[in-house]
Structure 1
Amino acid sequence: MNQWSATNAYLTLKAVVINSTALKVDWTSNPVAESIKLRVESLDGAVVFDGKLAGKDRPHVITNIKPSSEYSISAQTIVGDGKRPIYRKVIVQTFGEVETAPPGPPRDLSLRIIDQVSRTKCRVAWGPPIPSGGSVHYYMVDFYGVVRRQVVHGVRTGNQLHRPKSSNCRNLHHVTPRSEAKDNVTFCEFEGLLSNRNYSATVVAVGPFGKSSPTYASSQCLTSFGPPTNIETPVAKRGLDDKTIAVEFQSVPDDINGPITCYFLAIIPCTLNVNFSQLPPPAYMNFDVYERAMQSNLHVIFQPIFAYIAEAYYELPRRTIIGDSQQVISSDSRTLDFLGRFLPQDGELERGYKYIGFLIARVDPDRTVYNLSNSRPDILPSWLQPTYSFSGYFKPVYLGDASEHLPSC
């Protein structure tokens, strides 16, 4: 038989404010009460609820309460068999309307390029919402880039967005406010911006009672044009006359990073004993004019190997012939000078040697993204230098008698 003693009888009463107009009441008791009497009234005497609640009604939500007010909540167990009822009372303070509202939108959202030369880093900064909204627990940041200039060649990305990682905000869906800063400005810095992109941002403040409307940046981080990420290696073979090399270009490089100004075809004459695996990557190859490259590479021992520019193009052809002296050159030498020094010269190729080469794409920077009025004249020229992208070496082509013994490459 169950024993009950008044010494272990209890009634616990809990009241939790839900928002500015509602609170939740819950209770437990020993012995278990089938029902309780509950009364909720404000301290100025206005009764909100006065009635009986069964155990199945717990927890019970009381509505129509006033914001920013104190309420007295009293409960009494309903018991029988001569047992004494247990009485409890609590006082709660309801939220104000502002406290239960979502926070306002972040203020003063701005974007700024950090590195003015390479333009691959951007700083996104914003201030807290105006105090009329609820409190802010964290921010949600969306930083994204879209292609600025329409792609002519290669893959069209449509509305595909580029979202680089932040160097100081690990979780962009939960950025903690920087309350310790004097100006209360919170910021995220981003690296790895792609060329030919327009980067923008939106920031949303999140509080215990919801999200703010998004704030859109009025400024942007613009990146300059850059070289293509990849250039397909040309295919070369010996010409029918055994004095020339036929070169085919399999595809036009993707220009999503910016318009390609022109192309250069570099040729490297080599003796038969050259180990091609020990040559530097094309981007690190030494260059000289046609005559000196031929003389140094083929007839002077213990000299560095040089490449020369054989042809240059505004538009990349499907195929070309090297060694026929029909060089492609423009009247605008500034555009088709490689590194500002080497004009294309398609001279005769000597038989009895091997030749390799590679394709170069040149991209000029976009002057419109640089604030030229605030730039230092002494460093401005270095900002506006062209950038280059290089293919791999095409396979060696031997010119000469096919019956001669050829060392392995």
Structure 2
Amino acid sequence: MAIKRPTAIQKGCIPEILKGRDCIGGSRTGSGKTVAFAVPILQKWAEDPCGVFGLVLTPTRELALQIYEQFKAISSPQSLKAVLITGGSDMRQQATALAQRPHLVIATPGRLADHIRTSGEDTICALRRVKMVVLDEADRLLASGSVGSMLPDVEECLSVVPPPAKRQTLLFTATMTPEIRALKELPRTPEKPPVFLCEVDLQALAIPASLNQMYLQIQVTHREHYLHMFLLTDHNLPKSIIIFCNRISTADYLTHLLRLLEHRVTALHSKLPQRQRIDNLGRFRASAARILVATDVAARGLDIPEVDLVINYDIPRNPDDYIHRVGRTARAGRKGESVTFVGQRDVELVHAIEARVGRQMEAWEEEGVNLETRVIREALKLVGEKTREARLEIEEGREVGGKRKRGMVKLRPNK
């Protein structure tokens, strides 16, 4: 796998996990946290390859699939049986796979909680003997009080595994919140060694030094026009790009619009069917699509080494989300760029981000390029026309989808 030497988080955590200590690992995105817990889990499992040995919980389907693939790659000399339990896939097939006592379960909390509630004791009983539990992106899994909080589902998942005194618990995150750090002080039983806390490169939630952060001032009424012309500059035209939006509707609209404007584009958001999410991500990884338009479902943990540029089409409300977004580029020491579109009312959000990361963004510029002039000369009419077409496509798609639900349209009409 071309891993020649351990990263700092791997060097710090692997020996302590092998000693049996619970571990809280904090390191910036792209620093190799998955290997930091996968290697010691596989080492200890190989010494006693029985039943369900490990459970990994992670917030998104794409991240769960990536962790599954990394475990399978690292364990390829052994006969590891791992199952993926995520939304968007058949519940019955997953229940059957769980009941067959795999060695490793990698799951999103919502779907595993569904199985705990509905699939019966025969399906989940093996989880009661789990030796190691991992919470990956722990800050997201343990966040309480927010809309869409996963904490209730996480608690339900943990209710069926052995208690903390009888299992090894590993928490990994790129955002070391006070709540996670406080877990180090939880009461311990005499037989359990103290929690090992390893923080690497987390000064003010450090972003990679090789990342060039920039901003672009735009007129919010012409945001799409600026995006189109920005993607076509000589400097940006060859790049692999992720565009982040705050809403699914915005991501869907931009995908339609950019396709009509003849950009090679695909999308990733939670309203897409699971098969399509996997296929779209595969197309982007294989460079069949140059641009991925995504919501924050793509912001955490995904390792796509070829990403050259991250564009914040919408500025995230939470500065930590900005960190995770721009962390999709400049990974593992590579260079990368991020550009944030800033409208008249976005200045405070930018200041909050700069205060959080401890660095100021620089104004975007490209030699010989006056973006505002290009927008006026080349984009106003064209993008305006394609905007109307994109909105019409989306509306027609909704009407057809609604008719299909009511049984008024055949899925495969006769020719």
Provide TM-score, normalisation by structure 1: 0.24
Structure number with the higher strand fraction is: 1
**Which structure features the higher share of helix residues?**
2
Higher RCO (C-alpha under 8 Å, 6+ residues apart): 2
State TM-score, norm by structure 2.
0.23
